[in-house]
Structure 1
Amino acid sequence: MTSSTLVDIDLKGLLPKVASGKVRDLFAIDEDTLLFVASDRISAYDVVMQNGIPGKGALLTAMSVYWFKYLQNKIPTLKTHFIKQSLPADVETALGDQSLSSSLRERSMQVRRLKIIPVESIVRGYITGSGWAEYKKSGTVNGIAMPPGLVEGQQLPQPLWTPSTKAEAGAKDENINPEKARELIGDVAVAKRVEELSLEIYTTAAKRAEEVGIVLADTKFEFGLTSDNEVVLVDEVLTPDSSRFWPKQTWEQNLGKQQPSFDKQFLRDWLVGQGLKGKEGVVIPEEIARQTAAKYKEAYQMLTGENTLGA
C-alpha cells in the first residue's frame, strides 16, 4: 500500500472531471464509463479534514473491489457498476511518471455511468450513532418504533433499512423514514428493490464479517439505475468509510458504551475529545492519522484475508 498521502487528484487534464466528492474524484472516460479515483482525503461529521490518511484511497478501492466480487458471487441477481481496477491505458501512457501512474492505478476503478438514486441507503443491524441518539429521545430510529430498554451497541431484532437524504456538497445528510425515501425515489418498484437489496447485501456481508471476528454494526450503500430501471450497486461498498466495524470478541462486554472500532470512529472520537466536531480546517496530528490508517488496514486484512493490496 502506498505510504505517501495523495489529497488532490491530478490527471493532468487527460480526462474531464465530472464531480469531486469528499473522498473521490470522478472523471469521464466516455459517455458510458467513469473513472472513480479515491484520494486519501477523510471526512468526519460531514467535514473534510485538511490532511489525509496515508494509503487510504488505495485501501478503500481494494476493499470495494473485494466486496463487489464477493457479493456478486453470493447474490447472483446483484448488478454492480464495477468494470475493472485500472487506469485507461492511454491515460497511463500519457502520464509518463511511473510513480504517479502506479499511485493512481491502485486507487482507480473504471465503472458504468448510471443515473444515481437520490438517497443514501443505510442498513443498521445494531443501535449506535445517530440511531442511538434518536432512540434515546423518542424510542424510534428514523421514525420507526423500537422495543423499549435497548442499550447502546445492542443488536436490533432484525436489520433495519434507515435511509437518509443524499445532500449536495457542503450540506448534511438527513435521516428520513422509509416512506419519505420511497417518495424521493419516486418509483414503487425501484424503491422496493433498493430496500430489498440493501438488506440482502447487509445480511450477506455481516455473515462474512462475523466469520472473521468482526461485527458489521451498520453500513451505507448507494444505487444507480440503468436506462431500463435496473437497480445497480454503485460507489464504494462496505469500507471503513461507509461502515461501522467492531471487534466481535469485545462487543458484548462493551454494551451500553462506545465500542472499539476498525473504522473512522477513532477519528470521530478524537475530534469530539478535542472539541473539534464539525469544525472546518482541522489538521489531523500525524499520530492520529497513523492510528486511523492502522485501523483501516486491520479491517481490510481481516475481511479479505490479504496482507497487501492487489488489483
Structure 2
Amino acid sequence: MNSAIPTAPVLPGWTHLYSGKVRDLYQPAGTGGPFVGREDVVLVVASDRISAFDHVLATEIPDKGRILTGLSLWWFEQLDVPNHLVATTVEDGVPASVAGRAMVCKKLEMFPIECISRGYLTGSGLLEYGLSQTVCTLPLPAGLVDGSRLEEAIFTPSAKAEVGAHDENISYETMVETVGATVAADLRKLTLEIYSRAEEIARERGIILADTKVEFGNNPATGVITLGDEVLTPDSSRFWDAQLWAPGQAQPSFDKQYVRDWLASEESGWDRACDTPPPALPAEVVERTRARYVDAFERLTGTTFI
C-alpha cells in the first residue's frame, strides 16, 4: 500500500481497529467516552479516500466521506429494513472531529457475501454475458448490450476479497454452501427488495439505479439479519442519468469514472500492469469527481449539500 495514503485519525474515547479502502473502524476505548465498556458497537468513519483499479490513491476527494455517510443515512430512512445505526450525531456520542462522516453502529456478525442486485447489464456482468450469455451462471436473453435493462432484476452474489484484491462473482449455489440455504434465501429476498424500492425512488428523481451492492450481518442480540456498511452510494452502486441513458455504450455515471478514465489515459503515465502505486490526481480530476458525488447526493435527496 502507498505510504502516502492518509492514515486513520486518532479519536479520543475510541481505539482504531481496522482501515479498509474508504472506511476506518473503531471500538470504544477502555476509558472515557459515552460508549465505554460497550462491546456491542463500533464507530464507522468514512474517509475522503478513493480507490480505483484495486489501489487506494494518495489523493483524497474533499467531502467524499460526508457525502457517502449522508446518502447512507438518507437511504436507511427510505428502506423498511433493519439496519445497524445506533448514533449519528455529536449529541449521541459521535466524536466532533468526524461528525457528518461517522456512525456508531451495532456490531454485526457479517456474512462473507457481497449481495448484488442488477437491473441493467454492464460491468463484470456484461463481460460474463459476452462469453456465456449468463451472469453468475444465470441465463439471460440473447441480444443484450452494454446498458440494456433486464426484464427483472437479478441477484448476483460475490465472495468478499481482502483489500487490494477483486471480489469474486459466485453462483447462488456456492453462496448456499457458504451461508446455508435459509440465510441465502433471506439475503437474496432482502437485496432484491432493497433494489426494487431504491430503483423506484431514484427513477422518480431522473436517475437510473443500474445495480447496487449491499452487505448484511446477523445481529447477535436479536438473531435478525441486519443491513450494515454503506447503502446505495456512488461507491456501492451504479447511478446513471436517465436522460442520457443509451444502451449499446458505456453510460455516464455518478461516481469515480473521471478517476478511472484519467488513470487509464496516457496523460497519467501509469501502467496498471506494474506494481507501482497510481500517481497523484490533478486538481481538475478531483474537482470533477467531487462534483459528481455532490450531484448524486443533491438529486437523490432533494437537498443542497453543505
| Rounded Cα–Cα distance in structure 2 between residues aligned with 1:159 and 1:12 | 42
Residue 80 of structure 1: aligned partner: 83
Give the direction of change, closer, same or farther, for the CA distance of 1:113–1:127 in structure 2 (3 Å limit): same
Describe the SS at the equivalent of 2:14: coil
Paired residues of 2:10 and 2:16 also in contact (CA < 8 A)? no
Of residues 202-211 and 25-34 in structure 1, the stretch that sits farther from structure 2 once superposed is: 25-34
Residue 14 of structure 1: aligned partner: 13
Paired residues of 1:240 and 1:299 also in contact (CA < 8 A)? yes
Matched AA of 2:17: V
Give me the TM-score of the superposition, normalised by structure 1.
0.87
Residue 183 of structure 2: aligned partner: 190
Which 4+ stretches in 1 moved above 6 angstroms?
A: 88-91
Residue 196 of structure 2: aligned partner: 203
| Rounded Cα–Cα distance in structure 2 between residues aligned with 1:161 and 1:215 | 17
Paired residues of 2:24 and 2:47 also in contact (CA < 8 A)? yes
Residue 122 of structure 2: aligned partner: 128
Paired residues of 1:124 and 1:219 also in contact (CA < 8 A)? yes
How far did 1:277 drift?
4.5
Residue 97 of structure 1: aligned partner: none
| Rounded Cα–Cα distance in structure 2 between residues aligned with 1:36 and 1:178 | 30
2:41 is the counterpart of 1:33? yes
Residue 43 of structure 1: aligned partner: 51
Identical-residue share of aligned pairs (%) = 44
Paired residues of 1:122 and 1:218 also in contact (CA < 8 A)? yes
Counterpart of 1:264 (choices 251, 256, 268) is 256
How far did 1:250 drift?
1.2
Deviations 1:78-125 (A, max 9, x none): 200012213576774xxxxxxxx34x1111111100100001111111
The one of the two structures with greater contact order (alpha-carbon pairs below 8 A, sep at least 6) is 1
2:149 is the counterpart of 1:146? no
Counterpart of 1:53 (choices 42, 48, 61) is 61
2:291 is the counterpart of 1:288? no
| Rounded Cα–Cα distance in structure 2 between residues aligned with 1:198 and 1:109 | 22
Deviations 1:153-211 (A, max 9, x none): 000111111111111223221111111112122x2211111100000000000000000
Matched AA of 2:280: V
Q: After superposition, where does 1:236-275 map in structure 2 within 5 Å?
A: 236-251=230-245, 254-274=246-266
Root mean square deviation, CA, Å: 1.9
Residue 98 of structure 1: aligned partner: none
Residue 35 of structure 2: aligned partner: none
| Rounded Cα–Cα distance in structure 1 between residues aligned with 2:271 and 2:155 | 30
Paired residues of 2:94 and 2:102 also in contact (CA < 8 A)? no
Matched AA of 1:268: R
Matched AA of 1:260: P
In structure 1, stretches of 5+ residues that fail to align are 1-5, 93-100
Residue 3 of structure 1: aligned partner: none
Describe the SS at the equivalent of 1:259: coil
How far did 1:64 drift?
0.4
How far did 1:229 drift?
3.4
Matched AA of 2:15: P
Paired residues of 2:82 and 2:225 also in contact (CA < 8 A)? yes
Give the direction of change, closer, same or farther, for the CA distance of 1:121–1:290 in structure 2 (3 Å limit): same
| Rounded Cα–Cα distance in structure 2 between residues aligned with 1:45 and 1:195 | 28
2:213 is the counterpart of 1:214? no
Counterpart of 1:303 (choices 297, 300, 305) is 300
Residue 155 of structure 1: aligned partner: 149
How far did 1:294 drift?
0.3
